[in-house]
Amino acid sequence: MLSPHQASEHMVSQMNFRFILTAKHAAPYNKLNPLHISITMKNHLLTATLLFYTLLLYSSSALANALAQNHTPEVDNIRAKYQHIQTHLKDYRTASQDIWGESTEGGKATAHYDHSNVLQRIEVIWFGESGKRIVYYYFDHEQLVFALDQQIHYNRPIYWNQSLADEVGDTELFDPTKSTVIENRYYFKHEQPILWLDNTGQTVDLNIEKNTEQAQAVIAHAKKMYQQFLTP
């Protein structure tokens, strides 16, 4: 879809083209009616202006709909639950398990239980040579309500020391502070995805099958982890 600015330029371009045709094929008429060209241009300018504001209104409406979806009562409740867990996280009891077979370097999962021994959050870390992935699962009444997925990419493999760098003429070593992080946020209701925000904060279309499948995979893994920690 053209931006309002692009649409306006496109309309002006079309306007100029029509003006040339009008001047060429209706020259006798224009000579007799000197105001014809001026009126035609004004009409086209008016049309271009109306199109510009129509597209601007459409863009504003789309943005408003995205913001509204981002702040539904369900999403706001999930964020309140997330904040509650984060605030009390330091007081929760923890239990950990090693994870094998899901990444090249293995992984670790840590569950957090509140004072009533209710499982509130699970943190899962998968380790790799070139990065790691961390997923935080948040639960409410034994159901997944939120997942924060962080994919961390290292600037160099973890084993990349001075000796290896010198062999290939590399001037950079492994430095965790130079890692890049890509985040995805998933919101769920009754263990069904209701909102997915990508790394830029944009809404991901859950009507697309592959996106829905990815969100369902998050739910499936969260359930698997939950069952493993259900009996601490």
Residue-level pLDDT at 100: 86
Residue-level pLDDT at 11: 40
Neighbours of 95 (CB within 10 A): 14
Domain assignments of the chain as residue spans, ordered by start: 4-70, 73-229
Residue in 201, 176, 228 with CA at minimum distance from that of residue 67: 201
Q: Are 181 and 150 in contact (CB under 8 A)?
A: yes
169 pLDDT above the threshold of 70 = yes
The one-letter amino acid code at 230 reads L
55 pLDDT above the threshold of 60 = no
- For the question of whether the overall pTM of this predicted structure is more than 0.85, the answer is no
Residue-level pLDDT at 62: 42
Residue in 128, 129, 99, 123 with CA at minimum distance from that of residue 111: 123
| pLDDT tens, position by position, 182-212 | 999 999 999 999 999 999 999 999 999 999 9
* CA distance readout (Å), 194 to 55, 66, 69, 75, 181: 28, 13, 9, 8, 24
87 pLDDT above the threshold of 50 = yes
69 pLDDT above the threshold of 90 = no
Q: Please name the residue that has the structure tokens 């209710």.
A: 118
Residue-level pLDDT at 20: 36
- The alpha carbon of 160 is separated from its chain's Cα centroid by a whole number of angstroms, namely 31
Average pLDDT of the residues of the chain: 81
Which of 33-47, 50-64, 195-209 is the least confident region?
50-64
Q: Is 63 exposed, middle or buried (0-12, 13-18, 19+ CB in 10 A)?
A: exposed
Q: Are 200 and 213 in contact (CB under 8 A)?
A: no
Residue-level pLDDT at 105: 80
Pairwise pLDDT comparison (213 vs 36), residue with the higher score: 213
| pLDDT tens, position by position, 113-157 | 999 999 999 999 999 999 999 999 999 999 999 999 999 999 999
